[in-house]
Structure 1
Amino acid sequence: IGPGGGLGPDLKAKVLASLSTPLSCILDADALSTFSENSQSLFKAIRSRKAETVLTPHHGEFTRLFTVNPELDKITNCQNAAKTSGAIVVYKGADTVIAAPDGRVSINTNGPPCLATAGAGDVLSGLIGGLCAQGLDAYNAARAGCWIHGAAGAHIGPGLIASDIICAVPDILAEEELCA
């Protein structure tokens, strides 16, 4: 939920309604930014649910949602964010950090600079959501989604647009024999 959702009370209500379902939720973009003035209400809703939630902020969204300690590294700040929110946090960047509330953490480093383009994060959220829908737990869906996303970006190279990433996913899965 979030890409292209627009900011404001309508999206906030949709996010909270989605968090009341028994399904995994992936929140990105506007779904994160709409809670920037009251992130605790989002975290309360996440912590009260049984299903898993994944937050996929880039640096700007991360700093609007969470308290960032400049004396701590990105990994520790992401782990703290996961514990605070009760969600799996995918802190996007050249070194994407994936942290779970239970302390597990992974770093994905295969994402090339060309992924820093409009809509690429929306595709990543969709990949993670698709993997969750196939039954993968949210932490491993986030890890796998980030890796596939990075591999697709490297496969395409400079000049990619978000829809190119989607088109490259079958090639990545076939190359890595991840899909039979």
Structure 2
Amino acid sequence: MDGDLWVDPGTGAPRYAKLGGEDALWVAIVEKAYAILRADDSNYTSINAGDGTLEIGKAGGGHINLTLSYWGYNDGVTKEAVLDWIARGSPQDDPIRSARDAGVNAFLSWVQQERAQGAALVTGSVSNVSDTAALTATSWRRSAHILMIDRVETNGASRPVGIVLRNPYGFEAPLTDYTQIYFLLGGAGRWNLP
């Protein structure tokens, strides 16, 4: 890998992953390294709309022997069912509400345990992930944009109540709305070195 990064020709600023705090370049450098590692291609299109996995079965992909530890929802709920529940006003006594609460609580607990052990976690979502992002059929657990999981937010009783993501575009994305978390984040994972 070399030090050449994708830049905007008009401004000279990094084109995809943006500068971090104090103009740190590490996210842009890691993004390029990931593109090379994932598919043996230092082209942004090799990671655009990816899900954070390595293309281990592809020629040139997966240069090191990594394993993935992953948490994902396994409740059988579909995006159509959630969108219908939202359209009906998100009734409290609906099975979708129960699945949402159980799923998000399990997700946040898993993330909290992994982060407490020092694990670096990633998730995928739409690039504008937030508590106000539109929930549509095309934003359902869509891993078009990879985000680092920074931390789980807790209340005064140490109960998880939200998650803070670090967007490679240079900002944090806090989510506390359980419906947004359930709909936009399909899970999380960490790469384990051999």
TM-score by length of 2: 0.21
Bigger relative contact order (CA 8 A; separation at least 6) = 2
- Computing the radius of gyration from Cα coordinates, the structure with the larger value is 2
- Where is the helix percentage greater, Structure 1 or Structure 2? 1
- Where is the strand percentage greater, Structure 1 or Structure 2? 2
TM-score by length of 1: 0.23
